[in-house]
Amino acid sequence: MDSFIDSSLSAYFPGLVDVCRNDIGQLVYAIIKDGELVLAQEYITETESFSIPEEKHFQFTSPRAAEVVRYFAQEDTALYDDLLSYLKRFSALDDEQWAIVAHYVFLTYLHDHPGIDYCAYILFNAVPERGKSRTGKSLTYVVFRGIHLIELREATIFRYSQNLHGTLFFDIRDISKKAERGGCEDILLLRVEKGAKCSRVQYPDQGPFNDTVYYDIYGPTIISCNEPLQYILETRCLPIIMPNRPGNYENPRPQMALELKERLTAWRAKHLFTPFADMEPIEGISGRLWDITKPMFFINSLLPVDYQILEDSILAIAGEKDEYRKDTLEGRLVAIIKEITDENGFERFVEWSIKTNDIRTRFNEGRPEDRHVSPQWIGKRLKKMSFHNRIVHGYSEIKITSDEYAMILKQYGHTAGESSKPTHSLPEKAEQGQNVLREVESGRESAQVQGRPAFSSPEERECYDEKLHALKEEGGRSQDEIERLAHEALEEWRKHDDSPF
């Protein structure tokens, strides 16, 4: 005889479109079953039985079931444009910003789609009285299960995230400081990624393992704040800097967005399991920014909207993030590495080294003496940036390959010149001392007495120039003899050098 577990309250499960209100005011499940939209007061499977919680637990407007069913049965080609018209009633943004915001509204309705792994945060950041809260509320009323919060309380966030999978609008003046004080940093940092969980010890008396509860905290997030965000949190955001455009805008109310919510809920029902074709990263959008914006391009593929406006909008954000990274400590170090590389023509090589002390000297230029950084500080920073450090002849230096150099320039908003591409390849490490580049070998054979030899690395050129300078300082020798002795010193250095050139 079949038996069911006790019925439990649930407002979310796979295949659920949303909890809607029927014609007599009762809450019902709207469920996708075999491609059809069906309504039910309970959800029952062979192993589960769910019923709907009381209405007081839904702190947002529930769509009308009949309207959702009606829109599900018809095409709705004007939905995107109507959404834009609704949003523009309450505030003013640039066209590129509106494109991001509108696409994000659609994303909240598919944030749990099997093909979507990330849901970025929308960040409204500006000085007071620019319309951040009004814009955020207008979004809250139209997004999937939008909830407006003016406090960071982890218990509330856990319940809204895990039980409702709602879109949370944090309307907080300094959210980074608030999160630090309330111990909520992990929640804000992890909500961006599907499957992310936060653990809390809730039952210490029950011993190991049983004392801990793991909360699912993934979901769409909107943030409005006056103060800058902590850097790591900011990398998860799509920033919308509110323009200074005073005007006579309407005040948003939940009922103003009800029809759009019903149409968007029907759109969710149509595409909840629509497969997405994989995408290659777009030139200029990389790293975490690509991870968090890729789902928006998936959304674009479901809308009758020009792909280019979204791409241009995200590229504009990429440019802003590049400029921001340039101003960080790491950005300054990359700028110095680029200066040294350009001045010495290192970009012609496949691999080269830069002395750590040279980077430190330039970093300290213009800084008060008591603010000078130590060699250890520079070394640790460079190591954290994934540069390989080594000690050669008692000096610390970083080793850089052309691929690493191109990548770090791109990450910090710099562009290498045309001459940055290597003009030749270097031998594999296993071939050291046996095979060398033909260009280098022919240079060694032809440059016996006159002219500069062909170098296979910056270190070789440095060794030659140092010996040449020392011999000139000693005096008493002809130019030909000085060059011959410098060549001999270079050949001797090549025999004993342990570097991978």
Percentage of residues in the chain having pLDDT higher than 90: 56
* Same domain, yes or no: 198 and 294: yes
Per the CB < 8 A criterion, the answer to whether 233 and 188 are in contact is yes
Mean pLDDT of the chain: 85
Using the CB atoms, write b or e for 4-23: b if 16+ within 10 Å. eeeeeebbbeeebbbbbbee
* Same domain, yes or no: 342 and 366: yes
Per the CB < 8 A criterion, the answer to whether 113 and 267 are in contact is no
393 in a structural domain: yes
The pLDDT score that the predictor gives to residue 5 is 57
Compute the C-alpha angle 117/118/123, nearest 5°. 170
* Same domain, yes or no: 197 and 265: yes
CA 21 to chain centre: 38
Torsion of CA 377, 382, 385, 390, to 10 degrees: -130
The pLDDT score that the predictor gives to residue 481 is 84
- Nearest CA to 292 out of 480, 103, 130 is that of 103
Percentage of residues in the chain having pLDDT higher than 70: 87
Give me the mean pLDDT over the 455-480 stretch: 71
Q: In the chain, how many domains are there?
A: 3
Token pair for 74 = 């018809």
pLDDT above 60 for 450:
no
Q: Is the C-alpha dihedral spanning 377, 378, 382, 385 positive or negative?
A: positive
Only one residue has tokens 């200074």, namely 244
Indicate the burial class of 443 (C-beta count within 10 angstroms; 0-12, 13-18, 19 or more).
Answer: middle
pLDDT above 60 for 424:
no
The whole-angstrom separation of Cα 395 and Cα 353 is 11
The pLDDT score that the predictor gives to residue 431 is 39
Q: What is the pLDDT of residues 260-310, one digit of tens each?
A: 999 999 999 999 999 999 899 998 898 899 999 999 999 999 999 998 999
32 in a structural domain: no
pLDDT above 70 for 143:
yes
Residue 176 is inside which H or E element, if any? helix 175-182
What is the residue-wise DSSP string for 263-278? HHHHHHHHHTT-----
Query: Any idea what the CATH number is for the domain that residue 415 is in?
Result: 1.10.10
Last residue of a domain, one of 353, 386, 420: 420
Confidence of residue 460 (pLDDT cuts 50, 70, 90): low
50 in a structural domain: no
Per the CB < 8 A criterion, the answer to whether 216 and 197 are in contact is yes
DSSP conformational letter for 118: B
Q: How far apart are the first and last CA of the chain?
A: 76
Confidence of residue 376 (pLDDT cuts 50, 70, 90): confident
Q: What is the pLDDT of residues 39-75, one digit of tens each?
A: 999 998 888 899 999 999 999 999 999 999 999 999 9
The domain of 478 spans: 429-496
Q: What is the pLDDT of residues 163-216, one digit of tens each?
A: 999 999 999 999 998 998 888 899 999 999 999 999 999 999 999 999 999 999
The whole-angstrom separation of Cα 36 and Cα 338 is 59
* Same domain, yes or no: 188 and 97: yes
* Same domain, yes or no: 258 and 383: no
Angle (deg, nearest 10), helices 458-474 and 479-496: 140
pLDDT above 50 for 425:
no
Confidence of residue 495 (pLDDT cuts 50, 70, 90): low
* Same domain, yes or no: 448 and 483: yes
Q: Is the C-alpha dihedral spanning 423, 427, 429, 432 positive or negative?
A: negative
Helix count and strand count (H, E) for the chain: 18, 16
Indicate the burial class of 201 (C-beta count within 10 angstroms; 0-12, 13-18, 19 or more).
Answer: exposed
**In 302-357, where do the E strands start and end?**
351-355
